[in-house]
Structures are given as C-alpha cells and as structure tokens.
Amino acid sequence: MPRLPLTILPLAAALLVAGPAGAQMAQTSDKLPSVAEKAVPQSKAQVQLSFAPVVKRAAPSVVNVYASHTEPRGASRSAMDEFMRRFFGENGGGRGRGGAPGERAQKSLGSGVIVDESGLVITNNHVIENMNEVRVALADRREFEASIVLRDPRTDLAVIKIKSPTGGLTAMPFGDSEALEVGDFVLAIGNPFGVGQTVTQGIVSALARTQVGSSDYQFFIQTDAAINPGNSGGALVDLKGQLVGINTAIFSQSGGSHGIGFAIPASMVRAVVETAKGGATAVRRPWLGARVQSVTPDIAESMGLDHPTGVLVASLQPKSPAEEAGLKRGDLILSVDGKTVDDPEAFGYRFALKGLSGTTTFAVLRGTGRTTVAVKLGPAPETRPRDTLKVRTRSPFMGATLVNTSPAVSEEIQMDLPAEGVAVSGVDENSIAARAGLQKGDIIVAINGLPIATTKDLERVTRNSLNMWEVSINRGGEVLTSVFGG
C-alpha cells in the first residue's frame, strides 16, 4: 500500500476564523471511578459509561491560539506581491483582513494547553512560526494577548505565556506517556477548522512511530481520535484527564482526518516546558558526538541477531562524550537506561530526554559480547562563535542562513562535524538558495575557487553580484561543485 502524504496541521489560509467558542460541558460529577487494572466492559452498564467527567476535568485547560504576522508598508515583497501591487494597487486593490492599508497580514489558528497556573501554554511551533502577534482564547470565552517564551523547531513545540490573566487558570497535569499501551482510550481536545472547542475519542493505535517526518525527534503516539487542521497544539488526554501528548500531525490525502493522527509524547513536552520555566529561551540537549545508523536485516544476520534491533555506531567525533566513554565504531547500542531502541529516531528521542548532567548507560553489543557503557551528559560545546549570516544579496545563497561550524551546530542540524567550515542551517522556502539546491547541513567549501572558512569569508565573497558563481559544497562527505549564472 502506498504511503499517504503527511499533512502537518497549520491553519489553511482559507479557513473561516470562528469565534473563541468553548463547548458547554455536561454538568456531571468530576469524580472518576477508581480503576485498579485495565479491563474490557463486563456489562451493559459499563458500556454506557460516559467520558463526560474526563472532559469536564480537562477541557478548561485547552485553549484556542490565534496568531498573526503583519508586515508594515515598505517591507520586502515577493514577486507575486509586486505583481499584485503594480496591477491592482496596494494589497491587491483591497485591505487584508484585520490589516491597515499598506499592511500584509498572515494568520494562523491552532490549539494549546495550559500547563502552569502562571499562564504558560504549550502549543506547536508551526502554529506560531513566523508570527509576531498571539492571542489565546479560553474555554470560558475569555481572551488574552500572549507572548512567545520559547520556540523549539526540532520538536515542533513552543511555549507562550498569557499576559495579565484575570481570574484563575486551570493547568492540565502531565500524565505518563511511557505507561500508554496500544488499545488505551484517549481523547483529543482542540479547535478543528476554527469551529470552537471540540472533543473526539479514540484509542492509541500505535506507539513509538518514527518515520513521520514532522520534527527532528520522531517518536510519536498514533491515535485514531479525529484530528483536523486547527487541532495542532491541542491535548491528547488519558482517562484520568491528564496530558499524555500534544496533537501535531496527520496522514491525509484530503487535509481532513482519516483516523491516523500523531501526538508528541508528554515526556518530551514536559522537558520543553521545564526549560521554559527555568527561564531559558532555547532548549539545549545532551551531546553524544557520534553518528548512528539503522540495522538492516543483512547487518542483523551478520551480527548473529534474530532480527534487526538497536542502532549501529557509524562514526565518532574526537574528544566527544561517546569517544571518552569508550564507544567504538561498529558497536551496536541496544538500549538507553534500559529503554530499547530500534532505530536512530528512537535512540535520538531517548537520549535527548536525559538532561544535561550526570550519566546515562547504554547496553552495547560488541562483537559477540555484551557490555554497558556510561556516557557523561552535557551540552555540545560552541568552540567558536557561530556568527550567523542571512544572505540577502543576489547570489546562489540568497535566502540561506549560514553559521560557523562547531559541535553545538553539528548537534543542532544533525550533521557530521567537519574540522572547520560554514554550514547551511536553514533555507527559506521558494528562495534563490532553495532553487539552487542548497540544503540544511551542507558545508560551503569554496566559492569561485576561494576557500570558505567562516561566515565573514562568505559575506565578503557574496557582497557584490557576479555573472557567474562556482560553488563547492560538502554534502554527507561528498564534495559537489555547481556553476550558477548571476
């Protein structure tokens, strides 16, 4: 069966923005039955049990997130914007919704979850990405402005804070996403299509989904609870009314729900929230200094394994925690602190949760023997300033963001560390750099025969427009050279 295209859940521009409606919940006891163990229904009365008590407990913590970005008159325009301005006047002959003449507005709609009574709200990064104004609407229809506290594109999570809340806020407690099992009941609460707060019910369809592609740390809870555009950043709730995940993505051919939705586990969400509570504006994670790869059936057979499992150490960086712990190229890492890992994504997720102090233990297969390795936890060092450069002059690099390499940069953009160089850390969509084929993680080796060691070198070379550009890049260890017209 062909794999369905993945649809991330930002608000489509054509969505009708509904009022911040909060569904009126049934007036029912908030006392939940004490469940000693999981069991299938044993009687008709049990089948008729309602989820209303869970909804009543959880719904006040789920909010609608309205984000917008307004560019003032005179801001840089795309070719299409210029076309519309020249032939139809400013703003295409009209005023953008909610914008003043001469302004261009982008809007986004999603959901969020109050995770601290001070007003901290967790949502998806793609809900507020590139936005400069954020409003939050509570289930009781109160609305507040919010500030952006922390963005973490690698997990597609962001933390915002409600400004000057009036009255009490209800924070949703974290549940144990590690205790979830396939078949457990869950509820999804959010604001699909802007219609107002909506609750859907389903089960956990699968755990530890890794080949989804919506973030760097792929280890998703899969559910068949209906999730649609606008649910992004909303809550996946267990039957205790606790947060076990943040709804993030769907597989869809139409843009609507087909019963395959994905949520970021609460264990990762909690780590991002704790970072924000500590006052940091960026999430730092432990550095291993090793590249790992999947175990194929052929590799498994050659190692005497019954089936593929674990991750293979492909390379190590000098003086890294991996090298200092005694890991060797060819080692097979089977688990992290007792948690089995079956692919690089699962390994990256488990290791990222370990924090920045102490040690973690890997179970390792080396040759025919098994051993344990204690790895010291700490952040990747930034051995030289990154001197971030956003190229704005017309060249094959226009629209690319470039930084000086270091272990910290290498860890952030998931690449092997070269001795020295300039790395592409991002490429704007539809930019000249994107059309030239530059990719995140590329290392710029030379431009027109001149070696590039720092971003200052690259800035100097690209300061003036040229008729011809010869660019050499290192991509995954292979040097590629291309020629571009000016």
pLDDT score of 256: 61
Average pLDDT value for residue range 360-368: 92
Q: Where are the domains of the chain?
A: 1-12+51-283, 290-376, 389-485
Taking 60 as the threshold, does the pLDDT of residue 484 lie above it? yes
Contacts of 458 (CB under 8 A, 6+ apart): 389, 391, 397, 402, 422, 444, 447, 452
The C-alpha atoms of residue 457 and residue 156 are separated, in whole angstroms, by 33
The three-class DSSP label of residue 355 is coil
Return the percentage of the chain with pLDDT > 90, whole number.
35
Task: Please report which confidence band the pLDDT of residue 468 belongs to, taking 50, 70 and 90 as the band edges.
Answer: confident
User: Would you identify the CATH topology of the domain 1-12+51-283?
Assistant: Thrombin, subunit H (2.40.10)
pLDDT score of 96: 39
The three-class DSSP label of residue 238 is coil
CA-based angle 306:204:188, to the nearest 5? 150
Contacts of 86 (CB under 8 A, 6+ apart): none
Task: Please report which confidence band the pLDDT of residue 264 belongs to, taking 50, 70 and 90 as the band edges.
Answer: very high
Average pLDDT value for residue range 44-53: 81
Task: Please report which confidence band the pLDDT of residue 105 belongs to, taking 50, 70 and 90 as the band edges.
Answer: low
pLDDT score of 466: 79
Neighbour tally for 468: CB within 10 Å: 9
Q: Has 410 been labeled as part of a binding site? A: no
Neighbour tally for 53: CB within 10 Å: 19
Q: Give the residue among 75, 35, 72, 26 at the shortest CA–CA distance from 53.
A: 26
Active site residues: 126, 156, 232
Calculate the dihedral angle through the C-alpha atoms of 405, 410, 415, 421, rounding to the nearest 10 degrees: 10
pLDDT score of 413: 74
Q: Has 232 been labeled as part of a binding site? A: yes
**DSSP annotation of 416:** P
> Do 209 and 262 touch, CB atoms closer than 8 A?
yes
Neighbour tally for 224: CB within 10 Å: 19
pLDDT score of 258: 66
pLDDT score of 21: 37
Q: Six-digit token pair at 260?
A: 């395959």
Question: Which range is least confidently modeled, 4-18, 61-75, 156-170, 470-484?
Answer: 4-18
The three-class DSSP label of residue 11 is coil
Residue 29's identity, in one-letter code, is: S
Q: Give the residue among 190, 176, 192, 170 at the shortest CA–CA distance from 243.
A: 176
What are the tens digits of pLDDT across the range 61-85?
A: 999 998 887 665 554 444 444 433 4
> Do 412 and 405 touch, CB atoms closer than 8 A?
no
The C-alpha atoms of residue 181 and residue 396 are separated, in whole angstroms, by 49
The three-class DSSP label of residue 140 is coil
Bigger pLDDT: 45 vs 350: 350
Q: Has 156 been labeled as part of a binding site? A: yes
The C-alpha atoms of residue 125 and residue 145 are separated, in whole angstroms, by 17
Taking 70 as the threshold, does the pLDDT of residue 177 lie above it? yes
User: Would you say the CATH fold of 389-485 matches that of 290-376?
Assistant: yes
The C-alpha atoms of residue 67 and residue 207 are separated, in whole angstroms, by 31
pLDDT score of 38: 73
> Do 62 and 87 touch, CB atoms closer than 8 A?
no
Residue 454's identity, in one-letter code, is: T
Buried residues in 290-301 as b, exposed as e (16+ CB within 10 A): bbbeebeeeebe
Task: Please report which confidence band the pLDDT of residue 332 belongs to, taking 50, 70 and 90 as the band edges.
Answer: very high
Taking 70 as the threshold, does the pLDDT of residue 13 lie above it? no
Phi first, then psi, for residue 287 (nearest 5°) are -105, 130
> Do 365 and 332 touch, CB atoms closer than 8 A?
yes
What are the tens digits of pLDDT across the range 268-310?
A: 999 999 999 988 888 888 999 888 999 999 988 888 888 889 9
Question: Which range is least confidently modeled, 155-164, 261-270, 417-426?
Answer: 417-426
Q: Could you tell me which CATH number the domain at 290-376 has?
A: 2.30.42.10
Q: Could you tell me which CATH number the domain at 389-485 has?
A: 2.30.42.10
Q: Which residues pair with 6 in a beta bridge?
A: 251
Q: Has 231 been labeled as part of a binding site? A: yes
Question: Which range is least confidently modeled, 40-44, 181-185, 308-312?
Answer: 40-44
> Do 83 and 204 touch, CB atoms closer than 8 A?
no
Q: Where are the beta strands (DSSP E) in 391-486?
A: 400-404, 422-427, 443-447, 450-451, 468-475, 478-485
Question: Which range is least confidently modeled, 254-263, 396-405, 466-475?
Answer: 254-263
Task: Please report which confidence band the pLDDT of residue 252 belongs to, taking 50, 70 and 90 as the band edges.
Answer: low
pLDDT score of 104: 52
CA-based angle 61:234:23, to the nearest 5? 60
Write down the mean pLDDT value for the chain. 80
Average pLDDT value for residue range 106-114: 85
> Do 149 and 159 touch, CB atoms closer than 8 A?
yes
Angstrom CA distances, 216 to 223, 257, 349, 438, 442, stand at 20, 23, 9, 19, 17
pLDDT score of 2: 36
Average pLDDT value for residue range 390-400: 87
Task: Please report which confidence band the pLDDT of residue 213 belongs to, taking 50, 70 and 90 as the band edges.
Answer: low
Neighbour tally for 66: CB within 10 Å: 24
The pTM score is: 0.74
Neighbour tally for 97: CB within 10 Å: 9
Question: Which range is least confidently modeled, 102-111, 269-278, 299-308, 438-447?
Answer: 102-111
The three-class DSSP label of residue 65 is strand
Q: Give the residue among 423, 404, 412 at the shortest CA–CA distance from 476.
A: 423
The greatest distance separating any two alpha carbons of the chain, rounded to the nearest whole angstrom, comes to 79
